[in-house]
Structure 1
């Protein structure tokens, strides 16, 4: 596992939302699984559907472990939180996971989730910037994502990222490739 102290791209940073509130964007940690589970349960059905391309009522232990225990060399996960200590609450996150076995990996799947009350506050755009910075730091060349064609908010974040982008629509799902 890579030490987050050695990588400036993994530093915890405050982020001022458009509404003036301040959130913290930080790397996921092994103890975050209960916070991630709680945040998932707070998501609305439409947000879950958009994120997982279908209805999902629960996050599995394997999914929690994968996000909370990333190694930061082939995978990365940032959480967005408000509050601290016992009152810290996860309101969003972004992650990437390598799609190939090369060292360093060349391609990774990228995914985002923002709790409904915090959408439209600039978080996805900032997470896109942070996750791209971390992808470059580990040598990635491309992010890939599958996004429902109806999820215009996420497609807009990708289009505004400033990264070279290609998109292909297939059966209602947009396959996105972003060059880093």
Structure 2
């Protein structure tokens, strides 16, 4: 398979609600240590929301895998921090393509220090644009029912929310691209 082409997968600045500018860019293999530190900054509940099961820490192998997406189907955009978090990954959005080439799954993560600034929305918007440019037709995500922030973000970006038919603890957010 060849790499999916998406013009949106370029470095760009995004402006947060507080006026601060953050670099949004494709993830790099060298981001693994920062990804591990960012994961540790999450509360146990936030880690559970991110992985949908208990993962107390992100191993080096897992971090390396996240930082090396299969470019034939997947991509990840990350936000670089400012000030005290300069050089650190503070969040991002990932698209994971299905084997059928039409559907993809989204995920979003954001360190607590930068929540409420509109950065998750900016990252996910850009990831969705890139997914559409890459030829995906439908995007979905599984969200813990208690993850009100993620559900709110999905609704804000036009996703339809429905109960997960296999587990009442989750909802499915889905949208045509």
Aligned residue in 2 for 1:51:
50
Give the one of 121, 126, 129 matched to 2:125.
Answer: 129
Scaled by the length of structure 2, what TM-score is found? 0.87
Kindly provide the CA deviation profile for residues 48-71 of structure 1, in whole angstroms up to 9, marking residues without a partner as x. Answer: 122122332111344323321124
Aligned residue in 1 for 2:72:
73
Contact 1:73 1:138 in 2 (8 A): no
Q: C-alpha separation between the residues in 2 aligned to 1:47 and 1:40?
A: 9
Aligned residue in 2 for 1:168:
163
**Structure 1 gaps, min length 5:** none
Q: C-alpha separation between the residues in 2 aligned to 1:66 and 1:26?
A: 17
2:161 maps to 1:158 = no
**Structure 2 gaps, min length 5:** none
Q: C-alpha separation between the residues in 1 aligned to 2:109 and 2:142?
A: 13
The structure 1 segments of at least 4 consecutive aligned residues displaced by more than 6 Å after TM superposition are none
Aligned residue in 2 for 1:19:
18
**Per-residue deviation, 1:7:** 4.3
Between the two proteins, the alignment pairs up a number of residues equal to 173
**Greater mean alpha carbon deviation, residues 134-143 or residues 55-64:** 55-64
Task: Give the SS at the match of 1:9.
Answer: coil
Scaled by the length of structure 1, what TM-score is found? 0.85
